[in-house]
């Protein structure tokens, strides 16, 4: 017998309909690419999204077409997503930090038919547009007055493009499993791989992420996604915030400490989210300026491991709670969130930080396990680490075009490529990427644990650990550090600081000081590049 309940397809544009109906006046504030702070609200976003749908429809774009976006977090970017999805087309977010050739490769792979780009990225398109034969139209997310006049490309101003339409448009109706969004993984090895989100998975992901033990947001929240929309849907916030009617503050192109602080303060932001590198800049700015964060209550940190010292600073010096989270583009992206279960509510000081160094536990809709290389499940004891595998309602079941098949098994478990352990209460801790873990004498050493420890040293700004070939142990850890400005820690200072805090055989064999550590387009340390830089290195002791 089937249930007798209504069939109400989970379509993303229903989110913006809801926001416009119930929270129509709630603001979306943006530091615009042109400069000024601009304000709109959910009611206007819906009207303008419908104009985007009309404009796409008038230009002949159809269901299933990939429409690329190359933009920072702005209201225009947000409304264009909803407009694209509203005709059953697919927003395809491009990361402007990638090399132009990589972008061209990705656009060709996705066969993008049109692109909506920020003003700042027109030069990138000028370099690659003729290498993407599928591309029919370039719309610049600006008005006529700011449209570059001397471009060799045929550009159209977004405001003119949608300006000819009235917003009187019925969203198209289709199956909830229809594709709505696309994002390529940053691909530190091999070609980037395309993740294809569905309307259903995005709606369910938003429902999950607003829960109290996830992002825990409602209509009273003022949320600033510093994490870009091109990084795994701004961790879903472009859907979660309208679903609950939260005010959104978009930082646009400026993510330096002073610019971020200005918006946190003037818009009274209560929750924000980004990768650790962004917070390093904000904390440095706060330290220099002596400013405080009276409005901010919580900061979500993920994308790479949040250093303990960063949590301590936010919590002790600024009274801002850190929520450490883990996820992946392939998971829409939320995988685990570091909220405290009742058993942990009483934790304070160092014990609380010990727990917060873990990436948290999985919400409803995410199953996870750790296995050894033979796919045998390992115990949840908080120490036995192995390959982290996941399945769930907003997790990829394949990559676009069938790439990376070996990461998915017949029972839908997706091999994340991360190495982790899980404790008795379900809290997971990433110890490494499978390809970065150091294999020393048949045992594994976690590079993330060593990095987190090293950045706790008062003179160290950033740290990365890589394995260096060793004649006796296969590999041994080399700690690579950037010293804080004006400080000159020595190798023995750093090693003494670490001693006793990790197992003796995990201690780095040496420390190298550098001026720069390379990062990927999504802010992760680029270990491949570091390994290349240190390919000739050998330890002083042989």
Give the binding range for ligand AMP (CB under 6 A) out of 206-214, 266-274, 302-310, 390-398: 302-310
Contact between 332 and ligand AMP by CB under 6 A: the answer reads no
Retrieve residue 411's tokens: 């029972």
Give the binding range for ligand AMP (CB under 6 A) out of 307-315, 350-358, 410-418, 464-472: 410-418
State in angstroms the smallest separation of the CB of 257 from ligand AMP.
21
Sketch the per residue contact string, 165 through 204, with ligand AMP: x for CB under 6 A, - otherwise: --------------------xx------------------
Instruction: Pick between residue 86 and residue 404 the one whose CB is nearest to ligand AMP.
Output: 404
Contact between 80 and ligand AMP by CB under 6 A: the answer reads no
Of 182, 524, 185, 525, give the one whose Cα is nearest residue 329: 185
Our CA angle for 420, 404, 439, nearest 5°, is 35
Alpha-carbon 283 to chain mean position: 20
Among 131, 295, 433, 531, binds ligand AMP (CB under 6 A): 433
Task: Tell me how long the chain is.
Answer: 542
Distance CA 5, CA 17 (A): 22
State in angstroms the smallest separation of the CB of 275 from ligand AMP.
8
Among 257, 307, 333, 392, binds ligand AMP (CB under 6 A): 333
Asked whether the beta carbons of 380 and 372 are under 8 A apart, the reply is no
Asked whether the beta carbons of 213 and 363 are under 8 A apart, the reply is yes
State in angstroms the smallest separation of the CB of 336 from ligand AMP.
8
* Residue 333: cis peptide before it, omega within 30 degrees of 0: yes
Give the binding range for ligand AMP (CB under 6 A) out of 6-14, 216-224, 239-247, 298-306: 298-306
State in angstroms the smallest separation of the CB of 21 from ligand AMP.
32
Asked whether the beta carbons of 80 and 181 are under 8 A apart, the reply is no
State in angstroms the smallest separation of the CB of 298 from ligand AMP.
15
Contact between 418 and ligand AMP by CB under 6 A: the answer reads yes
Sequence-distant (≥ 6) Cβ neighbours of residue 88 within 8 angstroms = 62, 63, 64, 172, 174, 178, 180
Contact between 305 and ligand AMP by CB under 6 A: the answer reads yes
Asked whether the beta carbons of 233 and 197 are under 8 A apart, the reply is yes
SS3 assignment, position 479: strand
Instruction: Give catalytic residue positions.
Output: 185, 330, 439, 444
Among 169, 171, 326, 506, binds ligand AMP (CB under 6 A): 326
State in angstroms the smallest separation of the CB of 239 from ligand AMP.
16
Sketch the per residue contact string, 349 through 368, with ligand AMP: x for CB under 6 A, - otherwise: ----------x---------
Instruction: Pick between residue 13 and residue 324 the one whose CB is nearest to ligand AMP.
Output: 324
The footprint of ligand AMP on residues 486-525 (CB under 6 A) is: 522
Contact between 416 and ligand AMP by CB under 6 A: the answer reads yes
| Per-state percent for the chain, helix, strand, coil, to nearest 5 | 30, 25, 40
Tell me the chain's radius of gyration from C-alpha atoms.
23
Distance CA 311, CA 323 (A): 9
Q: Which residue is nearest to ligand AMP (CB)?
A: 329
The footprint of ligand AMP on residues 3-62 (CB under 6 A) is: none
State in angstroms the smallest separation of the CB of 326 from ligand AMP.
4
Q: Which residues of 410-444 are buried (b: 16+ CB within 10 A; e: fewer)?
A: eeebbbbbbbbbbeeeebbbbbbbeebbbebeeeb
Asked whether the beta carbons of 167 and 51 are under 8 A apart, the reply is yes
Instruction: Pick between residue 328 and residue 340 the one whose CB is nearest to ligand AMP.
Output: 328
Residue-wise DSSP of 166-183: -S--PPP---TTSEEEEE
Contact between 303 and ligand AMP by CB under 6 A: the answer reads yes
Give the binding range for ligand AMP (CB under 6 A) out of 57-65, 393-401, 416-424, 496-504: 416-424
Asked whether the beta carbons of 2 and 170 are under 8 A apart, the reply is no
Contact between 304 and ligand AMP by CB under 6 A: the answer reads yes
Give the binding range for ligand AMP (CB under 6 A) out of 115-123, 215-223, 324-332, 467-475: 324-332
Binding residues vs ligand AMP (CB under 6 A) = 185-186, 232, 302-305, 324-329, 333, 359, 416-418, 430, 433, 522
């Amino acid at each position: 017998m089937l249930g007798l309940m209504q069939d109400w397809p989970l379509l993303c544009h229903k989110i913006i309909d809801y926001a416009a109906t119930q929270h129509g006046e709630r603001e979306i504030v943006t530091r615009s690419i042109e400069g000024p702070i601009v304000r709109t609200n959910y009611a206007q976003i819906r009207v303008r999204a419908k104009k985007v749908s009309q404009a796409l429809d008038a230009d002949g774009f159809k269901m299933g077409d990939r429409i690329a976006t190359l933009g920072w977090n702005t209201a225009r970017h947000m409304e264009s997503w909803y407009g694209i999805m509203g005709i059953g087309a697919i927003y395809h977010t491009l990361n402007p930090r990638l090399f132009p050739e990589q972008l061209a490769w990705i656009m060709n792979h996705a066969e993008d038919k049109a692109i909506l780009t920020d003003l700042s990225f027109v030069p990138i398109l000028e370099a690659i547009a003729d290498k993407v034969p599928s591309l029919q139209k370039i719309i610049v997310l600006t008005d006529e007055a700011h449209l570059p006049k001397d471009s060799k490309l045929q550009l159209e101003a977004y405001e003119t493009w949608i300006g000819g339409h009235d917003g009187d448009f019925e969203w198209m109706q289709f199956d909830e499993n229809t594709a709505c969004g696309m994002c390529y993984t940053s691909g530190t090895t091999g070609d980037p791989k395309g993740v294809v989100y569905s309307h259903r998975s995005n709606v369910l992901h938003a429902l999950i992420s607003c829960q109290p033990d996830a992002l825990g947001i409602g209509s009273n929240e003022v949320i600033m996604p510093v994490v870009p929309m091109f990084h795994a849907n701004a961790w879903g916030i472009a859907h979660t915030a309208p679903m609950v009617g939260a005010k959104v503050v978009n930082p646009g192109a400026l993510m330096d400490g002073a610019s971020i602080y200005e918006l946190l303060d003037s818009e009274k932001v209560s929750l924000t989210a980004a990768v650790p590198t962004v917070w390093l800049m904000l904390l440095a700015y706060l330290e220099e300026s002596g400013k405080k964060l009276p409005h901010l209550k919580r900061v979500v940190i993920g994308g790479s491991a949040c250093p303990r010292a960063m949590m301590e600073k936010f919590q002790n010096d600024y009274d801002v709670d850190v929520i450490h989270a883990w996820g992946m583009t392939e998971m829409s992206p939320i995988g685990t969130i570091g909220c405290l279960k009742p058993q942990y509510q009483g934790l304070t000081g160092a014990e609380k930080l010990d727990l917060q160094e873990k990436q948290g536990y999985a919400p409803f809709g995410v199953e996870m396990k750790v296995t050894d290389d033979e796919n045998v499940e390992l115990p949840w004891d908080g120490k036995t680490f192995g390959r982290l595998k996941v399945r769930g309602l907003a997790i990829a079941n394949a990559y676009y075009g069938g790439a990376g098949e070996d990461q998915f098994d017949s029972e839908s478990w997706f091999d994340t490529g991360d190495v982790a352990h899980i404790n008795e209460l379900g809290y997971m801790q990433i110890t490494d990427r499978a390809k970065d873990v150091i294999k020393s004498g048949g045992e594994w050493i976690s590079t993330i644990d060593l990095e987190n420890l090293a950045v706790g040293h008062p003179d160290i700004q950033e740290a990365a650990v890589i394995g260096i070939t060793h004649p006796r142990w296969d590999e041994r850890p080399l700690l690579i550090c950037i010293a804080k400005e004006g400080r000159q820690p020595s190798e023995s200072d750093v090693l003494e600081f670490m001693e006793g805090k990790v197992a003796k055989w995990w201690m780095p064999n040496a420390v190298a000081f550098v001026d720069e550590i390379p990062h990927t387009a999504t802010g992760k340390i680029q270990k491949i590049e570091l390994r290349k830089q240190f390919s000739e290195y050998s330890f002083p002791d042989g």
